[in-house]
Amino acid sequence: MIDHSLLRPDLAADAITHGCKEAIDYNFISVCVNPAHVELAAQLLNGTNVRVCSVVSFPFGLSTTDAKVMEAKIALSQGAKEIDMVMNYSALRSGQLHSVEEDIRRVVDAAKAHHKDTIVKVIFENCYLTERQKVDACTTAVQAGVDFVKTSTGFGAGGATVEDVRLMKRTVGPKIGVKAAGGIRTLEQALQMVDAGATRIGTSSSVSIIEALK
């Protein structure tokens, strides 16, 4: 269930290499990397069960839709199997739901055109949203065809909360996944998110969480 997060901007190539080795050793479902590291991660993980997940328009979500689509296409062409795109939550907060849906849908369409099994997650950055806006984000993302909704980038003013995960799971229903990310550093926190309905956990503390589980 763990997306092993390797997203800090100061990570050098040796840290990406080490993180990919950890993902193989601990059987994480993916490594989540910035676009500049997709090619390296794909080379390192080739022939393994660990997928490469690339973020798109990270961490603010304010790239143009055309730029998001192109960023996703490039990442997929370099070996990414999953895309974590950041929602334009400025537009969401402005009540521009049609614009938000179109932004997400175009990335989803591009990803599915590359390969029908490509997984697309959309990141909300819940710390900046009201409860009503979180619900609107969920319904809009589902209408746009996403596979997962995700709580946070981990770079905002707050991260995942149990309450948000419950709300998101209740809103999207059983067919759409919920990824809890941002501030999850302990086994107890991870299990609380799973109990609340999370089907993926995004964390950079993956190894220590699994060691605690052992």
Write out the catalytic residue numbers.
84, 150, 179
Q: Radius of gyration of the chain from Cα atoms?
A: 16
Q: What is the phi-psi region of residue 49: left when phi exceeds 0, alpha when psi lies from -120 to 50, beta otherwise?
A: alpha
Tell me which residue of 176, 193, 59, 173 sits closest to 127, measured CA to CA.
Answer: 59
Element holding 150 (H helix, E strand): strand 148-150
C-alpha distance from residue 15 to each of 84, 130, 139 (Å) = 21, 36, 37
C-alpha distance from residue 213 to each of 26, 111, 186 (Å) = 12, 34, 10
**How would you class 128 by CB atoms within 10 Å of its CB: exposed for 0-12, middle for 13-18, buried for 19 or more?**
middle
Separation CA 95–CA 76 (nearest Å): 31
